[in-house]
Amino acid sequence: MKKVLVAGANGQIGKHLVRLLQESEQFEAKAMIRDKTQASFFENLGAGVAVADLEDEIDVLAALMDDVDAVVFAAGSGPHTGKDKTIMIDLDGAVKMMEAAKQKGVSRFALISSFDTRRGSWGSEDFRPYAACKFYADEWLRSSGLEYTIIHPGRLTNDEGTGKVNAGGEIPRDEVPREDVAKVIVETLNSPHLVNKEFQVTKGESPVMEALKMV
């Protein structure tokens, strides 16, 4: 069993992800949460729990990684905080988790980015600081030396997952259920051919495993 540390475990993708990891035969989850009162949901799934804040120092974050084989960064400051928190979580928090993983020799790292982080695609003025944070987090991971995968989901919905997606380097913009993104993350961790790759993902017609084979 490979143990996967999930940053943002209490988030909407994160909760699906921890459940799916626990249901898988290959993985077990260690849920990184910032509030002890969130622990029972994960303990009831049989998952491990680690309490820490992404604003903590790298050494604190690295201490969570002694027993893990892979890290998934599915956290985000969300749309209701100021841009200061976007910088501290979506950029600095992500980079600190990458540096912590390097420090502990945890080579596999999956990052949930946004759909299109390329310069020129950052959208409205209000959206740009978030997009810039995602852009630089992606860049840091690409040059980190870690065995990375960057997942670029379309607009997230809470629709029930279908197990079917569209995935590729450049695909039409569309929405995608969070549950299906979580399925894609599990399959990604199980797919050596996705090491040092990145792809966009939206709702679609192909079963997750088939869609990812084409990436």
Query: Residue 192 CB, nearest distance to ligand NAP (Å)?
Result: 24
Does residue 8 belong to the site contacting ligand NAP (CB under 6 A)? Answer: yes
Question: For ligand NAP, which residue has the nearest CB?
Answer: 11
Query: Residue 174 CB, nearest distance to ligand NAP (Å)?
Result: 11
Does residue 34 belong to the site contacting ligand NAP (CB under 6 A)? Answer: yes
Does residue 126 belong to the site contacting ligand NAP (CB under 6 A)? Answer: no
Does residue 111 belong to the site contacting ligand NAP (CB under 6 A)? Answer: no
Per-residue binder mask for ligand NAP (CB under 6 A), 11-30, x = binder:
xxxx----------------
The length of the chain is: 215
Our CB check for ligand NAP shows the closer of 177 and 215 to be: 177
Distance in angstroms (rounded) separating the CA atoms of residues 79 and 83 = 9
Does residue 35 belong to the site contacting ligand NAP (CB under 6 A)? Answer: yes
Burial 157-176 (b: 16+ CB within 10 A, else e): beeebbebbbbeeebeebeb
Q: How many CB atoms are located within 10 Å of the residue 59 CB?
A: 11
Q: Where are the beta strands (DSSP E) in 53-203?
A: 70-73, 108-112, 147-153, 155-157, 164-168, 175-177, 197-203
* Catalytic site includes residue 130: yes
Does residue 200 belong to the site contacting ligand NAP (CB under 6 A)? Answer: no
Query: Residue 78 CB, nearest distance to ligand NAP (Å)?
Result: 4
Question: 73, 138 in Cβ contact below 8 A?
Answer: no
Distance in angstroms (rounded) separating the CA atoms of residues 92 and 124 = 22
Give the interface size with ligand NAP as a residue count (CB under 6 A).
Answer: 24
As given in the structure block, the two tokens for residue 48 are 């491990």
Residues forming a β-bridge with 157: 177
Stretch that binds ligand NAP, among 48-56, 62-70, 96-104, 118-126 (CB under 6 A): 48-56
User: Residue 16: which of 137, 158, 197 has the closest Cα?
Assistant: 158
Query: Residue 105 CB, nearest distance to ligand NAP (Å)?
Result: 23
Location of structure tokens 């020129």: 120
Where in the sequence numbering do the catalytic residues fall? 130
> Where do contacts with ligand NAP occur on this chain (CB under 6 A)?
8, 10-14, 34-35, 53-55, 74-78, 89, 112, 114-115, 153, 155-156, 178
